[in-house]
Structure formats: C-alpha cells, structure tokens
C-alpha cells in the first residue's frame, strides 16, 4: 500500500487496486432512480382504464352554459355586494347613503366604495373556489 519514494524514505499513499469512485456510484444510483421513476410514470398509461362517468363540476361544457353561469354569478355577486353595503350602513352610526347623496361627503363616498370593493373581492374569491 505504501512505497518509499526517493532516498529519504518518504511514504506515498497509493489507492487500492479497485475502489469504485463516488461519481460511478452516483451515476448508477441516479440511473436506477430514473428507470424506477419512468416505470412508475408509464405503468398507469399502459393499463386499460375503465370508463367512468365524468364528475359533475361547475366548469361549463358549452358556450351557452358558460354565459348562463356568468350571468348567475354576476347576479349573485351584485346582490351580495349591495347586501354587504346595506349591512355596513346599518352597523355604522348615521346614514351613509344620506351623507353621500345629500351632503356630498367625499370621505363617506370613499368609505362606501371601499366597502363595496372589499365585499366584491371576498365574493370573487369565494366563487373562484
């Protein structure tokens, strides 16, 4: 394993006759992993699948159905936005609608717009799932 090099007697280390290097071990392990992953991914595609009935979803199957869903969700959203504004108006002192229309209060109009936008964002998030 060691040999003397030169007259001084320095020892030089030599590797053993056969030791697989880490890169060779990594390449074979990586290739086995890829082969296993490829086998797992392709197995379901090769098996014959039983035809199951499609699950009922809210995704439209035609243009008419998409338009009907759009109108339905728009109507529900507008009604919910108005209801949210009215609930906010009832929970705050004074009449927000009167402040905006009769007294021309810009601050009240900004608050009312922010309430409607906030309710609409919540409604849109709930409709998207």
Domain residue ranges in the chain: 63-128
Higher pLDDT, 10 or 95: 95
Residues 6+ apart with CB under 8 A from 120: 77, 81
Of the pLDDT bands very low, low, confident and very high (cuts 50, 70, 90), residue 72 is very high
Higher pLDDT, 44 or 107: 107
What pLDDT was estimated at residue 124? Answer: 87
Whether residue 97 is predicted with pLDDT greater than 60 in this model: the reply is yes
Residues 6+ apart with CB under 8 A from 80: 119, 123
Residue 112: both structure tokens together: 């009312």
Question: Phi/psi of residue 16, each to 5°?
Answer: -60, 170
Residues in the chain: 129
E strand or H helix that includes residue 11: strand 10-13
Whether residue 5 is predicted with pLDDT greater than 60 in this model: the reply is no
pTM above 0.85, yes or no: no
């Amino acid at each position: 394993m060691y040999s003397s090099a030169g007259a001084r007697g320095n020892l030089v280390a030599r590797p053993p006759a056969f030791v697989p290097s880490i890169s060779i071990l990594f390449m074979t392990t990586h290739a086995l992993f890829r082969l296993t992953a490829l086998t797992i991914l392709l197995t379901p595609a090769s098996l014959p699948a039983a035809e199951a009935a499609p699950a009922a979803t809210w995704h439209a199957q035609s243009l008419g159905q998409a338009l009907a869903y759009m109108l339905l969700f728009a109507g529900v959203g507008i009604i919910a936005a108005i209801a949210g504004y009215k609930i906010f108006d009832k929970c705050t002192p004074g009449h927000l609608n009167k402040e905006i229309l009769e007294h021309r209060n810009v601050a009240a109009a900004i608050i009312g717009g922010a309430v409607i936008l906030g309710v609409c964002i919540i409604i849109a998030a709930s409709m998207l799932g």
